[in-house]
């Protein structure tokens, strides 16, 4: 499908570049080329219109190139329309009067102001079918953007404390994962996150409850409020997870200091750092991350919406350092796209625009997304080869 999308996008771009409609060109071509129905997924919602309207060869390449998503929270893909549907289906009062009202409420001043609404939204998720529908909608969307591999976060404690057990939410998610593999060719693995505003005892209890489902889990992560909740508080549960053979990641250095990134590495033993934005404040840490090839999952639109970056100029300065001025293993991700106004494509388009990235630099980000994944070397090489193929196709098309 990739080459089909790329060629069609180029052809369409040539003839319609100046048209004033706001339809995302890559989506039109995905729709034309793919036999899969993406009726829900292709509805453009909340995307940065400046980026959606930005059309050209590099944007077509972004649409076509295979990508991995390593920092995406399942619960953060709950679009307002589905939130209202599930509330009605489950006989709950609607959390918002309309989807539009929900989007208008998504104005955040920091991480905590987002988390308050995020946990509120999760209250509509009650049955296995709810979790299946949520996951499937996201997988369709991801596949339509040529995402090939996902290491998906989910937050068990958010559901357990509402008396929704593993035996309800996990089968729903797993069924969607199986269907995604069969129908979309999409590879999905699951990373269970502990909520850092809760105690380590609660995290340990969650890990114990997850043990019967161990075979379905790739790893563990740490998310939620970072301020004054250093990673070292969770040292014991990470040791237990490691003993179970789970891979280790953690959010660190989003709002918390560079010291929290060090703690995540040294005390928790993480193999990849989520966000890690403030790592740049510590040159010894940057050197360590570079030398050890520890992946950092950047989430640009999340950082904009949560005011980690106060403006685009700051975003360009910081992301430019990560992507263009260091040898850090960084890639782009969407975090909680239903709340932050953009899925993976939107994040690539945003960063491409503010840094004027060349196609080689976009290709490197896409390759990094597989390099920093927990795929085998063989699988990584497979996707790197696919990226090289799309790149070659791009070169042929632009040199015509
Ligand atoms: Zn996150």
Tokens found for residue 265: 């590495």
The angle, 0 to 180 degrees and rounded to 10, between the axes of the packed helices 128-144 and 166-179 is 30
Instruction: Output DSSP code: residue 238.
Output: H
Phi-psi label, residue 293: left if phi above 0, alpha if psi -120 to 50, beta otherwise: left
Q: Give the separation between CA 362 and CA 367, rounded to whole angstroms.
A: 9
Largest CA distance in the chain: 62
Using the mean position of ligand 1's atoms as its centre, give its distance from the Cα of residue 15 in Å: 39
pLDDT attached to residue 16: 40
Using the mean position of ligand 1's atoms as its centre, give its distance from the Cα of residue 275 in Å: 7
Using the mean position of ligand 1's atoms as its centre, give its distance from the Cα of residue 73 in Å: 6
Q: Give the separation between CA 199 and CA 197, rounded to whole angstroms.
A: 7
Tokens found for residue 276: 């890690």
Are residues 122 and 76 in contact, defined by beta-carbon separation less than 8 angstroms? no
Tokens found for residue 266: 């040294």
Q: What are phi and psi for residue 222, nearest 5 degrees?
A: -135, 120
Using the mean position of ligand 1's atoms as its centre, give its distance from the Cα of residue 250 in Å: 9
Of all helices (H) and strands (E), which one includes residue 87? helix 80-89
Tokens found for residue 44: 């453009």
Q: Give the separation between CA 147 and CA 383, rounded to whole angstroms.
A: 11
Cα dihedral sign, 363-364-366-367: positive
Are residues 297 and 322 in contact, defined by beta-carbon separation less than 8 angstroms? no
Using the mean position of ligand 1's atoms as its centre, give its distance from the Cα of residue 219 in Å: 15
Using the mean position of ligand 1's atoms as its centre, give its distance from the Cα of residue 115 in Å: 11
Tokens found for residue 161: 């404390």
Of all helices (H) and strands (E), which one includes residue 340? helix 337-340
Q: Give the separation between CA 186 and CA 339, rounded to whole angstroms.
A: 23
Instruction: Output DSSP code: residue 146.
Output: T
Q: What is the 3-state secondary structure (H, E, C) of 168-222?
A: HHHHHHHHHHHHHHHHHCCEEEEEEEEECCCCHHHHHHHHHHHHHHHHHEEEEEE
pLDDT attached to residue 24: 36
Strand order in the sheet with 147-154: 67-73, 147-154, 187-195, 217-223, 247-252, 272-275, 295-298, 330-332
Using the mean position of ligand 1's atoms as its centre, give its distance from the Cα of residue 335 in Å: 5
- Grouping H, G, I as helix, E, B as strand and the rest as coil, residue 230 is coil
- Grouping H, G, I as helix, E, B as strand and the rest as coil, residue 235 is helix
Beta bridge partners of 272: 249, 295
Give the tens place of pLDDT for each residue, 56-108. Answer: 889 999 999 999 999 999 999 999 999 999 999 999 999 999 999 999 999 99
pLDDT attached to residue 19: 35
Q: Give the separation between CA 185 and CA 262, rounded to whole angstroms.
A: 37
Place of tokens 């840094």: 355
217-223 and 187-195 as β-strands: parallel, antiparallel, unpaired?
A: parallel
Are residues 197 and 226 in contact, defined by beta-carbon separation less than 8 angstroms? no
Q: Cβ contacts of residue 142 below 8 Å, gap of 6+?
A: 69, 150, 186, 343, 344
Q: How far apart are the first and last CA of the chain?
A: 21
Using the mean position of ligand 1's atoms as its centre, give its distance from the Cα of residue 332 in Å: 12
Give the tens place of pLDDT for each residue, 298-319. Answer: 999 999 999 999 999 999 999 9
Using the mean position of ligand 1's atoms as its centre, give its distance from the Cα of residue 321 in Å: 21
Using the mean position of ligand 1's atoms as its centre, give its distance from the Cα of residue 71 in Å: 6
Average pLDDT, the chain: 89
Q: Could you give all domains of the chain from N- to C-terminal order, each with its CATH number?
A: 2-398 (3.20.20.140)
- Grouping H, G, I as helix, E, B as strand and the rest as coil, residue 193 is strand
Residues assigned a catalytic role: 254
Q: What are phi and psi for residue 149, nearest 5 degrees?
A: -145, 135
pLDDT attached to residue 49: 56
Q: Give the separation between CA 178 and CA 184, rounded to whole angstroms.
A: 10
Tens place of pLDDT per residue across the chain (400 aa): 445 556 665 555 444 433 333 333 333 333 223 333 332 333 333 345 566 666 788 999 999 999 999 999 999 999 999 999 999 999 999 999 999 999 999 999 888 889 889 988 999 999 999 999 999 999 999 999 999 999 999 999 999 999 999 999 999 999 999 999 999 999 999 999 999 999 999 999 999 999 999 999 999 999 998 889 999 999 999 999 999 999 999 999 998 999 999 999 999 999 999 999 999 999 999 999 999 999 999 999 999 999 999 999 999 999 999 999 999 999 999 999 999 989 999 999 999 999 999 999 999 999 999 999 999 999 999 999 999 999 999 999 888 7
- Grouping H, G, I as helix, E, B as strand and the rest as coil, residue 354 is helix
């Amino acid at each position: 499908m990739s080459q089909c999308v790329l060629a069609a996008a180029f052809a369409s771009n040539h003839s319609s570049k100046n048209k004033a409609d706001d339809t995302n060109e890559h989506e039109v071509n995905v729709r034309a080329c793919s036999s899969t129905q993406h009726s829900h997924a292709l509805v453009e919602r909340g995307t940065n219109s400046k980026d959606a309207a930005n059309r050209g060869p590099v944007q077509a390449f972004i649409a076509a190139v295979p990508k991995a998503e390593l920092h995406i929270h399942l619960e953060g893909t709950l679009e307002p329309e589905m939130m209202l549907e599930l509330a009605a289906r489950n006989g709950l009062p609607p959390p918002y009067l309309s989807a539009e009202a929900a989007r208008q409420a998504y104005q955040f001043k920091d991480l905590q102001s987002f988390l308050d609404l995020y946990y509120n939204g999760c209250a509509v998720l009650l049955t296995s079918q709810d979790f299946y529908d949520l996951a499937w909608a996201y997988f369709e969307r991801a596949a339509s953007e040529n995402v090939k591999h996902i290491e998906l976060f989910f937050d068990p404690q958010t559901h357990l404390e509402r008396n929704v057990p593993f035996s309800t939410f996990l089968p729903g998610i797993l069924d969607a994962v199986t269907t995604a593999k069969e129908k979309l060719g999409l590879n999905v693995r699951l990373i269970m996150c502990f909520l850092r505003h809760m105690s380590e005892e609660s995290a340990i209890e969650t890990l114990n409850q997850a043990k019967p489902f161990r075979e379905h889990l790739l790893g563990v992560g740490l998310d939620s409020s970072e301020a004054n909740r250093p990673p070292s508080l969770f040292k014991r549960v990470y040791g237990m997870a490691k003993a179970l053979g789970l891979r280790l990641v953690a959010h660190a250095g989003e709002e918390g200091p560079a010291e929290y990134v060090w703690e995540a590495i040294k005390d928790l033993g993480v193999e990849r750092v989520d966000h890690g934005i403030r790592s740049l404040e510590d040159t010894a840490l940057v050197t360590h991350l570079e030398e050890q090839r520890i992946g950092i999952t950047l989430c640009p639109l999340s950082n904009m919406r949560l005011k980690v970056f106060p403006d685009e100029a700051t975003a360009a300065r910081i992301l430019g350092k990560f992507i263009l001025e260091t040898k850090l293993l960084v890639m782009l991700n969407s975090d909680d796209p239903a709340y932050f106004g953009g899925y993976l494509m939107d994040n690539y388009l945003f960063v491409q625009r503010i840094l004027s990235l060349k196609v080689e630099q976009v290709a490197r980000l896409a390759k990094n997304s597989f390099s920093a994944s927990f795929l085998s070397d063989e699988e990584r090489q497979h996707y790197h080869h696919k990226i090289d193929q799309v790149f070659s196709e791009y070169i042929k098309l632009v040199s015509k």
